[in-house]
Chains A and B, each alone.
Chain A
């Protein structure tokens, strides 16, 4: 793939797609009467970060090697699928998305590449698009297609990045490849069920209480939220990767 060949130095601007600002109805409640939230314009990586790209980062910033990482920053499975701390090995493809990276690690990678992790609402906005439409969420065929991924066994080897069709924004692999970290993963406060009454967890939360998710149709996105909200910042997982974003205009 293109990215892996030129990827060692990091993403150039061309590899990050511009996303115009939009008023967007998120599955997260807005907390006001208005159904939509405004997401300012930003840019997002066209593809998830690959093993080759992350290896280049680790070689340049050795404090992120798996044998030097602090326990607070990443759990014991951090990059455990690589053959060595500084080598992918035979069974790991350079163009596969990097996974088994913690939130802290993903964040540091993006910072080193002139970016940041996308916010949840930025990710959700971009992931709502199909190839032709900015918002395909109410298309049952599209819903069925992305749900299909969640039914596949997690033990299958991960495909290389860039094989999924580019969506409306020219961004690939948002669905069907990996879970992705977002900057505000710990803002996704979800209660076990969203009933308002008699919730024993209610007092733990200041303000409006746990999220009462609005759009139960959008099951695939709700699963993303449930998954992300179950993570700690040091967590890593076999199918949890990330991509970066940059810019944030009103």
Chain B
């Protein structure tokens, strides 16, 4: 079990009440932007317009809107993918790795599976271990079939399940600002993408807006 997620406690409490009664006591972290996130509606072009529910590898359920307040790097994958997905994960790690360590903690990284049936929390934990994914701000999660379709649609990611339960999908990594508006995307999987890393730095460097 990894440390708790730095997410807005209000939302989390509601989610936990359904998903994991008694789990609340182990969620001591509050978030410094919590009040801000809860106070106002997200911008019109924000991903946080979508009421998407997620379940992370440690089994906890939360809303994507709980991640509001820090820049978000987001992509979609599935864990038993053997062709492009390992490249996608490696590229994500490479992009994040180009940031100073302290800055790496100032973003959320979210990988959402296309395959809620096979990517159970246990399978996602296995995926995390296999790819040495650690840190409370790096979240590997699944969502309902309907929410997966909506999130992919919002991110411009195409995917299709084939009869053998592999997925044909586009590999796109997006970075949003603190309010969830996508500021840059990359589908570069092997080389570096300096423009994307620069966009990431810019988002981290941006002072949270005052309200």
Chain A residues engaging chain B, CB cutoff 8 angstroms:
30-32, 34, 37, 70-73, 103-104, 107, 183-189, 203-210, 229, 232-233
Contacts and interface: CB of A to CB of B under 8 A. Distances in A.
Contact of B49 (A34, A70, A185, A210): A70
A205 B44 contact: no
B73 interface: no
Smallest CB-CB A-B distances: 3 pairs = A233-B153, A206-B84, A31-B162
A207 B162 contact: yes
A233 B182 CA distance: 15
B159 interface: yes
B168 A208 contact: yes
B45 A32 contact: no
Interface in B62-95: 81, 83-85, 88
B157 A30 contact: no
B20 to A, nearest CB: 27
28 contacts: A31-B164, A32-B163, A37-B163, A70-B46, A70-B49, A71-B43, A71-B44, A72-B44, A72-B50, A72-B154, A73-B49, A184-B149, A186-B149, A186-B153, A187-B159, A188-B158, A189-B168, A203-B84, A204-B84, A204-B171, A204-B189, A205-B171, A206-B88, A207-B84, A232-B153, A233-B150, A233-B153, A233-B154
Contact of B158 (A104, A183, A186): A186
B156 A232 contact: yes
Contacts of A184: 149, 160
Contacts of B158: 186-189, 229
Given A206-B168, A207-B83, A208-B168, A186 B157 contact: yes
A207 B154 contact: no
B152 A186 contact: yes
Given A70-B49, A72-B46, A205 B164 contact: no
A157 to B, nearest CB: 30
B154 to A, nearest CB: 6
A31 B50 CA distance: 32
A153 to B, nearest CB: 30
Nearest to A120: B160
Contacts of B149: 183-184, 186
Interface in B19-73: 43-47, 49-50
Interface in B145-198: 149-150, 152-154, 156-164, 166-171, 187, 189-190
Given A31-B163, A206-B169, A72 B81 contact: no
Given A71-B44, A206-B83, A103 B153 contact: yes
Contact of A206 (B49, B153, B171): B171
A184 to B, nearest CB: 7
Contacts of A204: 84, 170-171, 187, 189
Nearest to B114: A206
Given A72-B47, A189-B158, A189-B160, A208 B153 contact: no
Contacts of B83: 206-207
Nearest to A210: B168
Contacts of B167: 206-207
Contacts of B169: 189, 205-207
Contact of A30 (B152, B156, B163): B163
A144 to B, nearest CB: 31
A187 B171 contact: no
Nearest to A116: B146
Nearest to B170: A204
A37 B162 CA distance: 11
Contacts of B163: 30-32, 34, 37
Nearest to B46: A72
A188 B153 CA distance: 12
A192 to B, nearest CB: 14
A210 B171 CA distance: 12
Given A204-B84, A208-B168, 20 more contacts: A30-B163, A70-B49, A72-B44, A72-B45, A72-B50, A104-B150, A184-B149, A186-B152, A186-B158, A188-B160, A189-B159, A204-B187, A205-B169, A205-B170, A206-B85, A206-B168, A206-B171, A207-B81, A208-B162, A233-B153
